[in-house]
Chains A and B, each alone.
Chain A
Amino acid sequence: MRQIIWLSDLLSESGVEGQESELRALSLQLNDPVLKSTARLLILISLGINRRLGFVDLLNLTGVGKGSLSNHLQKLESKGLIRVRRIPTFGGLRVRVEITQEGLAVYRNYLELLSKLIAKSNNV
């Protein structure tokens, strides 16, 4: 999974002011090392939509291995963006991942940033 080049990095390098500042403020909130991974952002966006998902669903979504996914989840959980729970079922313990309020805020940020970028590129 590759790293994401964040808009804030580009903006700070170029020193663009004014019009870009809103986008910069938004992207700065997303510019966390924990979120500089496609897999982790994918997990967060998907949880933003579905609120909770199973471990197997997240494996299918990200296409990474079990160990790698556990590692990604651990990083997101340590940042307080998700909550990992073990739910007893008839088939044994199942891992269920839920998004927290902090995670939802990041997801809404992503939506806002994406819609602003798209609207901006449409206006150009």
Chain B
Amino acid sequence: MTTLLIVQTAYLIGAICFILGLRGLSDPRTARRGNLIAALGMGLAIVASLFYPIADDQGNYLWIFGSLIVGSAIGWYKAAKVEMTGMPQLVSIFNGLGGGSAMLLAFLELRAQMDSADKVTLGVIAFTLFVGAVSFSGSILAYLKLDGKVRDKHVILPGHGWINLILLAASIALLVLLIISPSIGMALAALGLFLVYGFSFVAPIGGADMPVVISLLNSVTGISAATAGFLYGNQIMILGGILVGASGTILTVLMCEAMNRSLLNVIIGGFGTSTASSASQSDQDLSVQTAQPMDVAILLNYASRVILVPGYGMAVAQAQKYAKELDEMLSKRDVEMYYGIHPVAGRMPGHMNVLLAEVDISYDKLYDLDQSNDAIGETDVALIVGANDVVNPSALDDPGSSIYGMPVLEVWNAQQVVVFKRSMKPGYAGIQNPLFFKDNTKMLFGDAADSLKKIIDELKNL
């Protein structure tokens, strides 16, 4: 009795730690402490589980401590080694492992309880198996896509939306069958199908939609942990899982809103390619103005306020360190530089913030969408580094465009716009960007890191 009371109290404190930790994580000043509090809660939950009184305790502590040590070593090593540019991949793979763990646990519980369990328990087990498997295989594919090992076009089938619908229906059918007549064979068949569905579910979602799918998978993993908790009648598992599910859901909704698209629209798959053809026809009629690094350096030298809009291209070119160098140089000349961050810039929620924080840029210089749009009107120069669709004016004024209605950074309201770009190739959405042809826009062709470096060199001579 006493042990149980102590263990349950530890679980309760652990759960409170999760709540306080998440609250801390929603404010920059308390975020680091919040993370540590959540980790402390997790530590408490682990220790409590080691002492939890169970009817016929078999110990097996060798297995338990072995797994703890192996898992900690791998996790710690991966976390310490990862480059910030590899962060989206790492978050995906960690997330998949959590879902995979719930999936394996559901399988084991089914194997142990299939003759004795009632239908409700079987239903919970089967559902945990489903969400765990979807989170696992979906996250693995997301990881492969983010890491560039799998290209979107390799995994998208014609009519993929229908295929997914059929796979989902089949999965639900097997889930019900598994509840009605549970067996190892049935469980393995269901597991196989669930894994295929998870994979196929993520397959058509790519490129700029990755932030949505990563947050969605995060939420799915939380749900799998919560339903596993239901299975063990364990409150901290339920609470922890649901908190994660809720945070993942909020991020998913935020990302969808930032693109003015419904979740369903994202899930069914990418932007239409039909609009690309109509836009490309008018290409020849329009000409762009090009600039040299020297011109941009002069512009910057006489500016008083500069915005830099980063996109995925900045991460690819590793240009953030030069952004920082430019920032320092300009601040010495009393030029104020700030950064306009679109919520879906990059491949995961907050991707740009992480990259810029890595090079030591103070977070109060990172303006969100509304702050940026308020400030751009009084900005002299806008530098667009590796961003494209998030600065496309078509989103506001061209109802025929596939991104029409998406909130964008209205950089054209700055005195001068300089777009850093490799070539005239359109962005992820496959649509042309009228920003490039505006009178106050200049194109600076070449690798973003190179171009920034040249501008810095030119500035030194001014």
Q: Do A and B come from one complex?
A: no
Which A residues have a C-beta under 8 Å from some C-beta of B?
none
Which B residues have a C-beta under 8 Å from some C-beta of A?
none
